[in-house]
Protein backbone atom coordinates (compact mmCIF):
# COMPACT_ATOMS: atom_id res chain seq x y z
CA UNK A 1 0.00 0.00 0.00
CA UNK A 2 0.94 3.61 -0.46
CA UNK A 3 -0.14 5.92 2.36
CA UNK A 4 0.00 9.64 3.03
CA UNK A 5 0.80 10.45 6.66
CA UNK A 6 0.04 13.86 8.16
CA UNK A 7 2.07 13.82 11.37
CA UNK A 8 2.31 16.40 14.14
CA UNK A 9 5.92 17.58 14.44
CA UNK A 10 7.04 19.64 17.42
CA UNK A 11 10.71 19.96 18.38
CA UNK A 12 10.11 20.67 22.07
CA UNK A 13 7.57 21.59 24.74
CA UNK A 14 7.88 25.33 24.12
CA UNK A 15 8.21 25.15 20.34
CA UNK A 16 5.37 25.72 17.88
CA UNK A 17 4.19 22.59 16.12
CA UNK A 18 2.81 21.85 12.69
CA UNK A 19 1.50 19.01 10.56
CA UNK A 20 4.04 17.58 8.10
CA UNK A 21 3.01 15.25 5.26
CA UNK A 22 5.03 12.14 4.40
CA UNK A 23 4.38 9.48 1.78
CA UNK A 24 5.19 5.88 2.69
CA UNK A 25 5.31 3.23 -0.05
CA UNK A 26 5.27 -0.58 0.09
CA UNK A 27 3.34 -0.77 3.35
CA UNK A 28 2.37 -4.36 4.10
CA UNK A 29 -1.17 -4.95 5.41
CA UNK A 30 0.44 -7.25 8.01
CA UNK A 31 2.57 -4.48 9.52
CA UNK A 32 1.54 -3.00 12.85
CA UNK A 33 1.02 0.75 12.93
CA UNK A 34 4.28 1.23 14.84
CA UNK A 35 6.19 -0.92 12.34
CA UNK A 36 4.89 1.35 9.60
CA UNK A 37 6.26 4.35 11.53
CA UNK A 38 9.56 2.49 11.93
CA UNK A 39 9.78 2.22 8.13
CA UNK A 40 9.20 5.97 7.82
CA UNK A 41 11.83 6.73 10.48
CA UNK A 42 14.42 4.49 8.82
CA UNK A 43 13.96 6.47 5.61
CA UNK A 44 14.13 9.82 7.40
CA UNK A 45 17.33 8.77 9.18
CA UNK A 46 18.97 7.70 5.92
CA UNK A 47 17.96 11.03 4.36
CA UNK A 48 19.51 12.94 7.28
CA UNK A 49 16.18 14.14 8.69
CA UNK A 50 15.00 14.02 12.28
CA UNK A 51 12.93 10.85 12.82
CA UNK A 52 9.43 11.13 14.27
CA UNK A 53 9.47 10.71 18.06
CA UNK A 54 6.77 8.41 19.42
CA UNK A 55 6.39 6.32 22.57
CA UNK A 56 6.66 2.53 22.45
CA UNK A 57 7.92 -0.31 24.59
CA UNK A 58 6.45 -3.83 24.74
CA UNK A 59 4.56 -3.69 21.42
CA UNK A 60 2.29 -6.41 22.79
CA UNK A 61 -0.65 -4.30 23.97
CA UNK A 62 0.42 -4.51 27.62
CA UNK A 63 2.47 -1.45 28.59
CA UNK A 64 0.23 1.38 27.33
CA UNK A 65 3.10 3.41 25.87
CA UNK A 66 1.83 3.57 22.25
CA UNK A 67 -0.21 6.73 22.71
CA UNK A 68 -1.36 8.08 19.34
CA UNK A 69 -4.46 9.79 18.02
CA UNK A 70 -5.12 8.23 14.60
CA UNK A 71 -7.67 10.00 12.42
CA UNK A 72 -9.05 11.68 15.53
CA UNK A 73 -9.50 8.46 17.48
CA UNK A 74 -7.32 7.27 20.37
CA UNK A 75 -5.35 4.19 19.23
CA UNK A 76 -7.11 4.21 15.86
CA UNK A 77 -10.28 2.79 14.31
CA UNK A 78 -10.34 -0.70 15.85
CA UNK A 79 -12.09 -1.04 19.23
CA UNK A 80 -10.27 -2.48 22.23
CA UNK A 81 -6.93 -2.35 20.40
CA UNK A 82 -3.72 -0.53 21.27
CA UNK A 83 -1.77 1.29 18.55
CA UNK A 84 0.98 -1.34 18.58
CA UNK A 85 -1.62 -4.06 17.95
CA UNK A 86 -3.37 -2.11 15.17
CA UNK A 87 -2.50 -3.54 11.76
CA UNK A 88 -2.34 -1.66 8.49
CA UNK A 89 -5.05 -3.87 7.01
CA UNK A 90 -7.43 -1.48 8.76
CA UNK A 91 -6.53 1.13 6.10
CA UNK A 92 -6.77 1.24 2.31
CA UNK A 93 -4.24 1.97 -0.40
CA UNK A 94 -4.00 5.73 -0.95
CA UNK A 95 -5.47 6.68 2.44
CA UNK A 96 -4.40 9.87 4.20
CA UNK A 97 -3.88 9.23 7.92
CA UNK A 98 -3.84 12.02 10.50
CA UNK A 99 -1.47 11.24 13.42
CA UNK A 100 -1.43 13.39 16.56
CA UNK A 101 -0.27 13.18 20.17
CA UNK A 102 -2.69 12.96 23.10
CA UNK A 103 -4.29 16.37 23.57
CA UNK A 104 -4.85 17.31 27.23
CA UNK A 105 -3.54 20.11 29.43
CA UNK A 106 -2.28 17.52 31.94
CA UNK A 107 -0.34 15.73 29.15
CA UNK A 108 2.04 18.37 27.74
CA UNK A 109 3.82 17.53 24.49
CA UNK A 110 7.49 16.63 24.97
CA UNK A 111 8.37 16.16 21.29
CA UNK A 112 6.36 15.25 18.20
CA UNK A 113 3.97 12.47 19.30
CA UNK A 114 5.44 12.02 22.80
CA UNK A 115 3.59 13.49 25.78
CA UNK A 116 4.45 13.67 29.47
CA UNK A 117 2.08 11.32 31.32
CA UNK A 118 3.81 11.60 34.71
CA UNK A 119 0.55 12.98 36.14
CA UNK A 120 -0.72 9.38 36.05
CA UNK A 121 2.31 8.34 38.10
CA UNK A 122 1.42 10.99 40.68
CA UNK A 123 -2.13 9.63 40.96
CA UNK A 124 -0.82 6.09 41.48
CA UNK A 125 1.76 7.26 44.03
CA UNK A 126 -0.91 9.00 46.06
CA UNK A 127 -3.01 5.89 46.65
CA UNK A 128 -2.32 2.98 44.32
CA UNK A 129 -0.91 0.65 46.93
CA UNK A 130 -1.94 -1.69 49.76
CA UNK A 131 -0.45 -2.43 53.18
CA UNK A 132 2.04 -5.25 52.71
CA UNK A 133 2.83 -7.33 55.82
CA UNK A 134 6.31 -8.83 55.94
CA UNK A 135 6.92 -12.55 56.08
CA UNK A 136 6.24 -15.47 53.79
CA UNK A 137 3.61 -15.38 51.08
CA UNK A 138 0.14 -16.50 52.29
CA UNK A 139 -1.30 -19.77 51.07
CA UNK A 140 -3.41 -19.61 47.95
CA UNK A 141 -7.09 -18.93 48.64
CA UNK A 142 -6.35 -18.21 52.30
CA UNK A 143 -8.48 -15.07 51.97
CA UNK A 144 -11.84 -15.95 50.40
CA UNK A 145 -13.06 -13.35 47.91
CA UNK A 146 -16.60 -13.44 46.45
CA UNK A 147 -16.53 -14.13 42.72
CA UNK A 148 -18.34 -10.91 41.82
CA UNK A 149 -15.73 -8.90 43.73
CA UNK A 150 -12.87 -10.82 42.13
CA UNK A 151 -14.33 -10.37 38.64
CA UNK A 152 -14.83 -6.63 39.25
CA UNK A 153 -11.28 -6.22 40.54
CA UNK A 154 -9.86 -8.15 37.59
CA UNK A 155 -11.82 -6.14 35.01
CA UNK A 156 -10.46 -2.88 36.40
CA UNK A 157 -6.94 -4.19 36.96
CA UNK A 158 -6.72 -4.57 33.17
CA UNK A 159 -6.12 -0.80 32.88
CA UNK A 160 -2.68 -0.20 31.34
CA UNK A 161 -2.57 3.54 32.04
CA UNK A 162 -2.18 4.54 28.39
CA UNK A 163 -4.18 7.77 28.73
CA UNK A 164 -6.58 7.13 25.85
CA UNK A 165 -9.47 7.93 28.19
CA UNK A 166 -8.03 11.39 28.84
CA UNK A 167 -7.28 12.05 25.17
CA UNK A 168 -10.79 11.00 24.11
CA UNK A 169 -12.63 12.93 26.83
CA UNK A 170 -13.85 16.40 25.76
CA UNK A 171 -13.02 17.57 29.29
CA UNK A 172 -9.60 15.91 29.51
CA UNK A 173 -10.77 13.98 32.55
CA UNK A 174 -8.79 11.18 34.21
CA UNK A 175 -11.88 9.77 35.91
CA UNK A 176 -11.87 6.39 34.13
CA UNK A 177 -8.19 5.82 34.92
CA UNK A 178 -8.63 6.86 38.55
CA UNK A 179 -11.84 4.84 38.82
CA UNK A 180 -10.11 1.71 37.51
CA UNK A 181 -7.35 1.96 40.10
CA UNK A 182 -9.71 2.74 42.98
CA UNK A 183 -12.26 0.07 42.02
CA UNK A 184 -9.58 -2.57 41.57
CA UNK A 185 -8.02 -2.08 45.01
CA UNK A 186 -11.20 -1.21 46.93
CA UNK A 187 -12.88 -4.41 45.72
CA UNK A 188 -10.35 -6.62 47.48
CA UNK A 189 -9.80 -7.35 51.21
CA UNK A 190 -6.15 -6.32 50.86
CA UNK A 191 -7.22 -2.82 49.84
CA UNK A 192 -9.48 -2.07 52.79
CA UNK A 193 -7.00 -0.43 55.23
CA UNK A 194 -6.38 2.49 52.82
CA UNK A 195 -9.83 2.40 51.24
CA UNK A 196 -11.12 5.85 52.23
CA UNK A 197 -7.82 7.74 52.21
CA UNK A 198 -6.94 6.18 48.84
CA UNK A 199 -9.90 7.62 46.95
CA UNK A 200 -9.54 11.03 48.58
CA UNK A 201 -5.84 11.23 47.72
CA UNK A 202 -6.20 9.96 44.15
CA UNK A 203 -9.11 12.23 43.23
CA UNK A 204 -7.44 15.29 44.75
CA UNK A 205 -4.15 14.51 43.02
CA UNK A 206 -5.96 14.22 39.68
CA UNK A 207 -7.58 17.61 40.27
CA UNK A 208 -4.24 19.19 41.18
CA UNK A 209 -2.66 17.79 38.01
CA UNK A 210 -5.11 19.75 35.87
CA UNK A 211 -7.38 16.98 34.61
CA UNK A 212 -10.93 18.09 33.81
CA UNK A 213 -14.15 17.03 35.47
CA UNK A 214 -16.21 14.06 34.33
CA UNK A 215 -19.62 14.60 32.70
CA UNK A 216 -20.14 10.91 31.83
CA UNK A 217 -20.12 11.46 28.07
CA UNK A 218 -18.71 7.95 27.65
CA UNK A 219 -15.94 8.65 25.12
CA UNK A 220 -13.38 7.39 27.65
CA UNK A 221 -14.83 3.88 27.85
CA UNK A 222 -15.33 3.78 24.09
CA UNK A 223 -11.66 4.61 23.48
CA UNK A 224 -10.26 2.34 26.22
CA UNK A 225 -8.21 -0.48 24.64
CA UNK A 226 -8.90 -2.71 27.66
CA UNK A 227 -12.67 -2.10 27.90
CA UNK A 228 -12.65 -0.65 31.41
CA UNK A 229 -16.39 -0.27 32.15
CA UNK A 230 -17.89 3.21 32.34
CA UNK A 231 -19.77 2.08 35.46
CA UNK A 232 -16.46 2.21 37.35
CA UNK A 233 -16.76 6.00 37.41
CA UNK A 234 -20.02 5.65 39.35
CA UNK A 235 -18.16 3.42 41.80
CA UNK A 236 -15.46 6.09 42.13
CA UNK A 237 -18.06 8.77 42.84
CA UNK A 238 -19.76 6.66 45.53
CA UNK A 239 -16.42 5.79 47.13
CA UNK A 240 -15.41 9.45 47.17
CA UNK A 241 -18.67 10.56 48.80
CA UNK A 242 -18.37 7.89 51.51
CA UNK A 243 -14.73 8.74 52.14
CA UNK A 244 -15.49 12.47 52.34
CA UNK A 245 -17.67 11.78 55.36
CA UNK A 246 -15.20 9.47 57.08
CA UNK A 247 -11.83 11.08 56.38
CA UNK A 248 -10.77 14.15 58.35
CA UNK A 249 -8.44 16.43 56.39
CA UNK A 250 -5.69 18.34 58.12
pLDDT at 246: 85
Q: Which of these, 8, 24, 129, lies nearest to 67 by C-alpha position?
A: 8
pTM: 0.94
DSSP string, 59-77: -SSSS-----EETTEET-S
pLDDT at 250: 47
Q: What is the mean pLDDT of each run of 10 residues along the chain (250 residues)?
A: 98 96 97 98 98 97 97 97 98 98 97 98 96 76 88 97 98 98 95 95 97 97 98 97 81
pLDDT at 131: 86
pLDDT at 30: 97
DSSP string, the chain: --EEEEEEE-SSTTS--EEEEEEE-S--TTSBHHHHHHHHHHHHHHTTPPPPP---S--SSSS-----EETTEET-SSTT--GGG-BGGGS-TT-EEEEE----TTS-EEETTEE--HHHHHHHHHH-------SSPPPTTSS---HHHHHHHHHHHT-----HHHHH-TT-B-HHHHHHHHHHHHTSGGGSTTHHHHHHHHHHHHHHHT-B-----SHHHHH-TT---THHHHHHHHHHHHHHHHPPP-
Amino acid sequence: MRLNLRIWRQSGPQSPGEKVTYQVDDVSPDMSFLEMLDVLNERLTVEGEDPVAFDHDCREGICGMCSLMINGRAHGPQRATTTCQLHMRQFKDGDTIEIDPWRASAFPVVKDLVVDRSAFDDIISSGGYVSAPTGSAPDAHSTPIPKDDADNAFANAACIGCGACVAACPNGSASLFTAAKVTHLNSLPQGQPERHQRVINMVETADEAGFGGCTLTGECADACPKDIPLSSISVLNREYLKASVKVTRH
